[in-house]
Amino acid sequence: MTPEFFHEGDRVGILTSEPIGRVLDYRAPEGGVSNGAYVQVPLGPRKVTGVVWSAGDGDYPLEKLRPVATVIDAPAMLPGMKQFLTRVAEYTLTPLDAVLRLATRAPGLADPPSKRRVYRLGDARPDRMTPARARVIATLEELGGAPLPPADLAQLAGVSTGVLKGLEEAGTLIVQAAPRDAPFPTLDPDRPSKPLNDDQRRGAAQLREAVRSGTYGTTLLKGVTGSGKTEVYLEAVAEALRCGRQALVLLPEIALTGAFIERVEKRFGAKPAEWHSGVTPANRRRAWKAVAEGQARLVVGARSALFLPFRDLGLIIVDEEHDGSYKQEDGVLYHARDMAVLRASLSAAQTVLATATPALETWANAEAGKYARIELTERFGTALLPEMRAVDMRGAALPRDQWIGGELAKGIDARLGTGEQSLLFLNRRGYAPLTVCRACGEQVGCHQCDARMVEHRFINRLMCHQCGETRPIPPACPACGKEETLAAIGPGVERLAEEVTARWPDARVAVLSSDMTESARALRDRIDAIADGGADIIIGTQMVAKGHNFPLLTLVGVIDADLGLQGGDLRAAERTFQLIRQVAGRAGRADKPGLCLIQTHLPDNPVIGAILSGDDEAFWRSEAAARQQLGAPPYGRWAGVIVSGPDERLTFDTARALAREAGLFTQASASLLGPAPAPVAKVRGRTRVRLLVKAPKGVALQPLLAEWRDRVKAPNGVRVTLDIDPQSF
Ligand code: ADP
Ligand code: ZN
């Protein structure tokens, strides 16, 4: 047991987020320090932030230990939070320090208030004006005189802090002390809500009761798109607020937070705290503190909000719980939905998983009775679900550079001039997926990845979707040197936009793609403008499928439904089903009925069949049966293993050495497959080899994996990454 308080001179164990792999011992400072306190400690020549974690059990003589440098003015980390971080580390097989890093992402946490400064605009202008300096001045002018902390100003203006220093010396920026943080306004759960229909009322009552119970539990809130799930779970939020507890709503996409916050404000009369990468550093620090103090009662955010220091978390909503973006794919490989359930279980909280198309894992848990279930089967009000129709493209001899078939084109024609919108969905960013030399057949690839370069016309460059590197479109083929032989093959959204503009020159066209270089704010304004009728034809990638509400939209065209079905990934069928269902759900959300046309070369594919039939339960049942037969998740446990390194031979050697230790798994009736080159066999110059561990459900996989990993010493530069419950394989 760790004592509650350490007196001056006591030995304390401090966990920092430095990659050290263990708790370090220090001496408690003058005045002592509480268990869980956030502190700064000397580490070599530096000072790093850490948490008082334990009593410290090193054998280094007490009198030689360095003392804790500062105790940070913030509420101490609660035992439940420590337990959560520990469990996340154990589950994902990542070092605790890496997990702690997720929990201490409050910029300037360690700064004393005296160090908090803001810049306001002075009258002097610098002798030399640069574009960066001009952006800083324009940013402050736009804010109409409101001062900004340096880090926020740098982020908003897109400049380095060095630029700010220069402007400070020139007298353009004036330093003053930061005002005290404004408290978060109180949300009122008892303001009148929208009158709910019968289904919604039943669902809301069930959730309210669950929240009131003050116990741990999970509910699948399954409702067709537009059924009003949000209104239902906001009632659960209201109940958590009434109980004096905190609530967290996770959303899969930053671009959705703005509209959601407006909805919260209408319902509860004030804005919640917001937490994601688009929030400025000062606002993140303010939110982090207010959450730790228990003052911010509702947080809306991205998956990382799960690691905020809630005092008394009573409810977590995971909206669009099936969404792939809940899995963090670098650093700590965690799935926010699963970790939400874990966090709730440690704080007697309820989790609500809201979706129209649950992940098979979630569906299976509800089937097994582990999760409660609420169903909303109809759209709210008079809106109907869209009619779904497959368009067989096998005989369609489309001209080159065209991907919109006759039936879809007719649908678009019929809507132009009526004020109704059409949405064309193609899950491919950029202009064309392939750039090929017509003379020699060379496909232009990335220098550091085993991946093709994708042409992006908006920026007029080729881009690698693996590493993000861009380069100019070469005037000649890099292989044979012939000029003007490079040709774009296949469509991306930008090229589809070209087809649309050529065929419907008078239509207003909007492209929504996640690689557009605009701020979250600008993107949201653009989406709002589109929703208000600012476009006739919307072209989008995956990001348009997510919760956006376009009331004028009545036609959805899926350009190529077969894209996601190829490749044989474990979740290919599930993902295609979810994606097409969700994108179709954008149509006909108001009073006009919607139509969804699905262009496919595989009209007999069972996934397409399931989408058309509308019998979701039949789809989940057959998908579940297939997984069960494979021993695949959720009926078995899988762990992906990626071995990567700069040297191909050493990387493969390590993977083979690991494979030779497979006996450890067979003894536990698990098995090891591989090694084989990963689907993208090289990224950023590193070779990638993968293995797969399959285990029956009851096997405790993590301890086995940890022992297995430790049996092989990876040579310098070679990394072994374990991915529990991989999203694709
Ligand atoms: P979902 O999240 O299930 O897709 P939403 O909660 O976004 O659905 O609701 C769809 C639309 O129906 C929204 O525009 C919402 O404002 C409206 N709506 C849902 N429930 C009600 C209600 N009880 N009263 C009025 N409007 C509602
Ligand atoms: Zn690359």
641 contacts 720 by C-beta, under 8 angstroms? yes
Higher pLDDT, 475 or 213: 213
Q: What SS3 class is residue 603? A: coil
Per-residue model confidence as pLDDT tens digits over 637-650: 999 999 999 999 99
Does the pLDDT at position 480 exceed 80?
Answer: yes
Residue nearest to atom 24 of ligand 1 (CA): 194
State residue 517's pLDDT score.
Answer: 60
Per-residue model confidence as pLDDT tens digits over 433-468: 989 999 999 999 999 999 999 999 888 899 998 888
State residue 385's pLDDT score.
Answer: 86
Per-residue model confidence as pLDDT tens digits over 118-162: 899 988 898 889 989 998 998 888 877 788 888 888 888 888 889
pLDDT above 70 covers a percentage of the chain that reads 99
Confidence category of residue 77, pLDDT binned at 50, 70, 90: very high
- Residues 702 and 602 grouped into a single domain: no
Ligand 1: which residues within 6 Å by Cβ?
194-197, 200, 223, 225-231, 380, 549
Q: Atom of ligand 1 at shortest distance to CA of 376?
A: 3
State residue 634's pLDDT score.
Answer: 93
Report, as an integer, the average pLDDT of 670-677. Answer: 93
Does the pLDDT at position 1 exceed 80?
Answer: no
Binding site, annotated residues: 437, 440, 446, 449, 464, 467, 477, 480
Does the pLDDT at position 397 exceed 90?
Answer: no
| pTM of the predicted protein model | 0.92
Residue 474 Cα, ligand 2 centroid: separation in angstroms? 16
Going edge to edge, which strands form the sheet with 470-472? 453-456, 461-464, 470-472
- Of 574, 593, 625, the domain-final residue: 625
Looking at the 3D structure of the chain, how many domains does it have? Answer: 5
State residue 60's pLDDT score.
Answer: 87
- Residues 341 and 401 grouped into a single domain: no
- Residues 584 and 715 grouped into a single domain: no
- Residues 43 and 163 grouped into a single domain: no
Per-residue model confidence as pLDDT tens digits over 177-193: 887 888 889 999 999 88
- Residue 154, H or E segment: helix 150-157
**Residue 461 resides in a domain:** no
Confidence category of residue 494, pLDDT binned at 50, 70, 90: very high
Which of 220, 227, 230, 321 should be mutated for ligand 1, with most atoms under 8 A from CB? 230
Task: Give the separation between CA 317 and CA 258, rounded to whole angstroms.
Answer: 17
Question: Which of 245-254, 367-376, 489-498, 557-566 has the weakest average pLDDT?
Answer: 557-566
The pair of structure tokens assigned to 548 is 């956006």
Per-residue model confidence as pLDDT tens digits over 330-346: 899 999 999 999 999 99
State residue 516's pLDDT score.
Answer: 61
68 contacts 39 by C-beta, under 8 angstroms? yes
Higher pLDDT, 522 or 498: 498
- Of 561, 596, 625, the domain-final residue: 625
Residue nearest to atom 15 of ligand 1 (CA): 228
State residue 363's pLDDT score.
Answer: 97
- Residues 157 and 221 grouped into a single domain: no
The pair of structure tokens assigned to 615 is 């019998």
**Residue 460 resides in a domain:** no
Which of 380, 548, 591 should be mutated for ligand 1, with most atoms under 8 A from CB? 380
- Of 576, 602, 625, the domain-final residue: 625
- Residues 255 and 281 grouped into a single domain: yes
77 contacts 38 by C-beta, under 8 angstroms? yes
**Residue 453 resides in a domain:** no
**Residue 469 resides in a domain:** no
Confidence category of residue 542, pLDDT binned at 50, 70, 90: confident
**Residue 247 resides in a domain:** yes
Which of 221, 224, 231 should be mutated for ligand 1, with most atoms under 8 A from CB? 231
Q: What are the CA-CA distances from residue 25 to residues 1, 33, 65, 507 (Å)?
A: 16, 14, 7, 67
Does the pLDDT at position 482 exceed 80?
Answer: yes
- Residues 206 and 173 grouped into a single domain: no
Residue nearest to atom 10 of ligand 1 (CA): 226
**Residue 644 resides in a domain:** yes
Angle formed at CA 253 by CA 252 and CA 257, multiple of 5 degrees: 105
Binding site, annotated residues for Zn(2+): 437, 440, 446, 449, 464, 467, 477, 480
Question: Which CATH number goes with the domain that contains 14?
Answer: 3.40.1440.60
The pair of structure tokens assigned to 55 is 């009593």
Domain that holds residue 277: 198-376
Q: Atom of ligand 1 at shortest distance to CA of 231?
A: 6
List the shell of residues around ion ligand 2, using CB closer than 5 Å. 446, 448-449, 464, 466-467, 469
State residue 392's pLDDT score.
Answer: 95
Q: What's the full length of the chain, in residues?
A: 729
State residue 241's pLDDT score.
Answer: 98
Question: Which CATH number goes with the domain that contains 717?
Answer: 3.30.70.600
Report, as an integer, the average pLDDT of 549-565. Answer: 92
Q: What is the mean pLDDT of the chain?
A: 92
Question: Which CATH number goes with the domain that contains 420?
Answer: 3.40.50.300
Q: What are the CA-CA distances from residue 426 to residues 302, 497, 613 (Å)?
A: 25, 11, 22
- Residues 564 and 657 grouped into a single domain: no
Q: Which ligand is nearest to the CA of 454?
A: 2
Which residues fall within 8 angstroms of residue 5, CB to CB, at 6 or more apart?
32, 33, 34, 35
Relative to beta strand 46-54, strand 38-43 is antiparallel
State residue 27's pLDDT score.
Answer: 96
Question: Is the ipTM value over 0.90, yes or no?
Answer: yes
The DSSP annotation for 326-346 comes to GB--SSS--BHHHHHHHHHHH
Q: Atom of ligand 1 at shortest distance to CA of 225?
A: 4
- Residues 653 and 579 grouped into a single domain: no
**Residue 687 resides in a domain:** yes
The strand pairing partners of 319, in sequence order, are: 354
State residue 598's pLDDT score.
Answer: 97
Residue nearest to atom 6 of ligand 1 (CA): 228
**Residue 281 resides in a domain:** yes
Residue 446 Cα, ligand 2 centroid: separation in angstroms? 5
- Residues 311 and 400 grouped into a single domain: no
- Residues 232 and 354 grouped into a single domain: yes
Per-residue model confidence as pLDDT tens digits over 225-261: 889 999 999 999 999 999 999 999 999 988 889 889 9
Residue nearest to atom 18 of ligand 1 (CA): 228
Per-residue model confidence as pLDDT tens digits over 40-58: 999 999 999 999 999 988 8
- Residues 233 and 283 grouped into a single domain: yes
